[in-house]
Structure 1
Amino acid sequence: MGRREDRVRRKLEKDPAMECNKVRQKYCPDLFRDFADTKDPRNPSYTDYSNRELLGTVFYKGIAGITSMQAMTDEFNKDQVVKNLYQFMGGKEKEFLPHGVTVNEYFERLDPEELQKVQQKQVYGLIRSKAFYDARFRKKWLVIVDGTQTYSGRRKLHEGCLERHYKKGTEEETVSYHCDVLEAKIVLGEKLVVSIGSEFIENNGEDAERQKNMGEEERKQDCETKAFQRLAGKIKKAFPRLPLILLADSLYASEPVMDLCRGNGWGFIIRYKSGSIPGVTEEYEKIPEKGRSGHAEFVNEIDYRGKPVNMVRYWEEAEEKGKKAGKEYQFLTDMRITEKNAEKVVKAGRKRWKIENEGFNRQKNWQGDITHACSHNAEAMKNHYLMTQISDMVKQLYEWFVLETGGIRKRQKNISSDLLKSFGEQKTEREDIRRNDTQSVPAD
């Protein structure tokens, strides 16, 4: 695309904020009503702002890619921004939007489960819309699970912080603290990966005592396996009949995870490293007649602690630093592998990387920063993280259905700044700002 055509396409998007709102109204029409319906932890006699106004303000903070609460307070303290955001939220206009301190005091008392319910209700609506059915694999939704850090530093922000000791037992021993979350994201398209559930991994005395003699990798696996059991329970409760296939890295190649998937009626494609379950590798290598298809090699019904599991190995050549190098990938799955589906199973399994690229990297580097501590309170930190997931879901839909589909090219860092700038521009009448423009939008 030439510069002239690029300029013409950019002009097609006359108002980024309006276009983003249209997408939100089409795919998440009840979002602000759901914000309003969350259980308010405050005394109603001492409230200046409603749940809808507090959560709506933080939602638009995420849409604008604003990192800190102070920056939010400053950017949203402009007459036109205040007027527009109140109109976007559908409430009576006030002189000011909520201050960052007010939001944090509210978040310290708000039960994070309230926001998880809002988040999962929006995802349920997206699934029911049928607009994203092409993203399924064998008529099942791909759900990726992985953990990430939302804070790391020498300062202990709260009692739930996890600890990492360096040079333990010596005079030079140091301690760093971190906050972790186990995240599950559902694949709705090649560039659409949204949160379907979050489980926060916190320090408690029982786990800390049991893990004190474990190595770092063993401790991480223990924490994430237990968190996965809790997260899987949440997802099953919220989406009891959702047909899904779990995608995960080698940390989850274990009997408890596979048994939980089988018990829930879920499929799984889990990245596998030979050393993680030696018995599976040994049996795989002993079988001389392996199935083959293209770059894939496979064996079905390998015994793993009395239950069958299927394994596929895949080779490819990749160029690194100007040199060609061979790469090998292995996956364990409950799906029977054939010559027809072997490479398709591998392709689906490799979508696990989307939680890093379209998920964590995006939310840490391109669209805000989930590692920035907007509060030092444990509950508030959770609520900030969950609101980021809700904002980013809508923002991804906007990027796909408006920018990508319309051929409008923007640098990732400019998408947020353009939206923020648009918040402060003069809009048309109220009915134009909030109208439910449900024009036909192509599916991914």
Structure 2
Amino acid sequence: MAKPIQKNCTHLTASHLIKEVTDCLVDIPDHRPNHCKNGIPFGNFAKSAFAMMQMKMPSMLRFDSQREDPVQAHNLETLFDVVNGRVPSDTRMREVLDQLSPHWFQKPYKKIFSRFQRSGHLQKFEFHIGHLKNHYLLAIDGTQTFFSGKLHCDDCCVKNQGKANEAYYHQLMGGCIVHPDQKVVIPLAPEAIVRQDGCTKNDCEKSALKRFLANVKKDHPYLKLIIVLDGLYADGPTIRLIKSYGWHYIIIAKDGNHGSLIEAVDELDKQGKVARCLKTDPVTGIKYWYRFTNDVPLNKSNPVEHVNVLDFVETDKKGDRHTWSWITDIPLTEKTIEALMKGGRCRWHIENQTFNTLKKQDYHLEHNYGHGEQHLATNLAYLTVLAFLVDQLQQLGSPEFQKALKERTRGVRIHLWELMKGYFQTWLIKTWEGLFDAIISRTVAGIVPYDSS
């Protein structure tokens, strides 16, 4: 069970979170000739791009159209620390960001996560199962962020190479701290699935997963994790990699890919070595059937790797059946199967609460803001997920964000984004607190005030 919700604190307000981001972005070294000392401050390029994502601008052209507007310039300076309100043009912003290594845009994630830990809100995501205490579920999966039959860059993977229907694409390996009792997800620094330097072959999800897990261990060495994955990763090498970091796993097992595993469980079932149970929820009327067993060979070709297997079937009041099978290294007993089932089903949080939100709720993850020749598309994708992280943490621990979302927009995020965008483009705003206060109280002045009392 998640721990009781604690009191809100200032750690997770927009002003603090965005300062963490801008402090990281200003540290990116200037690669321009002679550093253009009289030109636009170099940090303004990345800060402006992040502001574009944080304010959910639908295109770089839309953002650029008000670049010289004194209102937007003022707000970029006060809210995003864009020095002197000097905003680069869309063309120049693309040129500069295109040459930057993507690892610079992964750094803010670690700093923000540290603030999240200090806030005490991480405790809400503690997952307990059996003898495992104070662990965290990390749901991981890949998603496509770009596809084109014409545009391409050095990072692009290639489909149907050399053929008439040759196409180019980018994918992203994402991972979020999740919990069965939490709607909010906490994304860690993503890993781009792109063509690697010096490689002639496409990158793939399994290679990206190796890099992602290595970065997680480096950035968060003391986190006790249970890795939650799709059936694509239910293999010996992935399991051994997870265990090498001292973590545990819950991975989906699909009939089509794990026939020998299912056969082994069926044979043990015939021998009476598999525990079974049928329960009915007295409140909802939903029926649950499950069977589980421990220490089963993963497959015939890998008899050394043994796993524990849980088959779970849910039948609702309409008679519709939903079936899941998971493999895990967590010992299965009558006391652990319910928690494991809930943890395994949390894998959908990476699909629904993360990727679907990023693609359908005005974050525009799949939108082409400008593809570039090197790393532009990758860097903009990282900034998009970073903006999503800031919003998720505000929803978790920012009183003013929660109130603006709940009272003024009835919980509809897109409506809140539109209100914020309208104020940002037309009113002089001094602080993030003032912006949210104006949304909540329906302030109609030209300058948004902030009463600290």
Q: Given the alignment, which residue of 19, 32, 47 partners 1:42? A: 32
Matching of residue 341 in structure 1 with residue 336 in structure 2: yes
CA contact (8 A) 1:311 1:331 kept: yes
Matching of residue 104 in structure 1 with residue 94 in structure 2: yes
Matching of residue 69 in structure 1 with residue 64 in structure 2: no
Question: Greater RCO between the two (CA within 8 Å, min separation 6)?
Answer: 1
Letter in 2 for 1:232: L
| Structure-1 separation of matches of 2:427 and 2:233 | 51
Look up the SS of the partner of 2:204 in the other structure: helix
| Structure-2 separation of matches of 1:174 and 1:428 | 50
CA contact (8 A) 2:12 2:393 kept: no
2:124 corresponds in structure 1 to 134
Q: 1:205 to 1:38 in 2, by over 3 A?
A: closer
CA contact (8 A) 2:158 2:166 kept: yes
Q: Given the alignment, which residue of 57, 75, 89 partners 2:80? A: 89
Look up the SS of the partner of 1:25 in the other structure: helix
Q: State the 1:90 CA deviation.
A: 3.8
| Structure-2 separation of matches of 1:366 and 1:242 | 30
Q: Which ranges in structure 1 are unaligned for 5 or more consecutive residues?
A: 1-19, 212-221, 440-444
Deviations 1:275-324 (A, max 9, x none): 222232121111123223543321111123313211111111248xxx53
2:415 corresponds in structure 1 to 414
CA contact (8 A) 1:185 1:197 kept: no
| Structure-2 separation of matches of 1:311 and 1:75 | 57
Q: State the 1:404 CA deviation.
A: 4.5
Matching of residue 234 in structure 1 with residue 215 in structure 2: yes
| Structure-2 separation of matches of 1:362 and 1:153 | 22
Letter in 2 for 1:303: P
2:307 corresponds in structure 1 to 309
| Structure-1 separation of matches of 2:336 and 2:231 | 22
| Structure-1 separation of matches of 2:18 and 2:151 | 37
Q: State the 1:418 CA deviation.
A: 1.0
Q: State the 1:250 CA deviation.
A: 0.6
Deviations 1:363-383 (A, max 9, x none): 111122111122222311111
Q: 1:297 to 1:196 in 2, by over 3 A?
A: same
Matching of residue 364 in structure 1 with residue 365 in structure 2: no
| Structure-1 separation of matches of 2:261 and 2:432 | 62
2:171 corresponds in structure 1 to 180
Q: What are the residue-to-residue correspondences of 1:142-291 with 2, within 5 Å?
A: 142-165=137-160, 174-187=165-178, 190-203=182-195, 223-288=204-269, 289-291=273-275
Percent of residue pairs bearing the same amino acid type: 22
CA contact (8 A) 2:226 2:247 kept: yes
Look up the SS of the partner of 1:197 in the other structure: coil
Q: State the 1:204 CA deviation.
A: 6.2
| Structure-2 separation of matches of 1:79 and 1:338 | 64
2:322 corresponds in structure 1 to 327
Q: 1:420 to 1:77 in 2, by over 3 A?
A: farther
Look up the SS of the partner of 2:307 in the other structure: strand
CA contact (8 A) 1:182 1:200 kept: yes
Look up the SS of the partner of 1:190 in the other structure: coil
Letter in 2 for 1:79: P
Look up the SS of the partner of 1:30 in the other structure: helix
2:392 corresponds in structure 1 to 396
TM-score, L = length of structure 1 = 0.81
Deviations 1:350-409 (A, max 9, x none): 111111111111111112211112222231111101111111111223344445567321
Q: State the 1:164 CA deviation.
A: 2.9
Q: How many residues are matched? A: 399
Letter in 1 for 2:334: E
| Structure-1 separation of matches of 2:118 and 2:423 | 31
Q: State the 1:136 CA deviation.
A: 2.1
Letter in 2 for 1:338: T
CA contact (8 A) 1:35 1:51 kept: no
| Structure-2 separation of matches of 1:411 and 1:431 | 20
| Structure-1 separation of matches of 2:210 and 2:349 | 22
The range that moved more, 256-265 or 282-291, is 282-291
CA contact (8 A) 2:248 2:329 kept: yes
Q: State the 1:44 CA deviation.
A: 4.8
CA contact (8 A) 1:273 1:330 kept: yes
Letter in 2 for 1:340: K
2:293 corresponds in structure 1 to 299
Q: State the 1:32 CA deviation.
A: 1.9
The range that moved more, 263-272 or 277-286, is 277-286
Q: State the 1:27 CA deviation.
A: 4.8
Q: 1:21 to 1:107 in 2, by over 3 A?
A: farther
TM-score, L = length of structure 2 = 0.79
Q: State the 1:118 CA deviation.
A: 1.6
Q: 1:307 to 1:429 in 2, by over 3 A?
A: closer
| Structure-2 separation of matches of 1:370 and 1:74 | 21
Matching of residue 384 in structure 1 with residue 385 in structure 2: no
2:113 corresponds in structure 1 to 123
| Structure-1 separation of matches of 2:204 and 2:309 | 26
Q: State the 1:77 CA deviation.
A: 4.0
CA contact (8 A) 1:269 1:334 kept: yes
2:440 corresponds in structure 1 to none
Look up the SS of the partner of 2:309 in the other structure: strand
Look up the SS of the partner of 1:373 in the other structure: coil
Letter in 1 for 2:412: R
Look up the SS of the partner of 1:251 in the other structure: helix
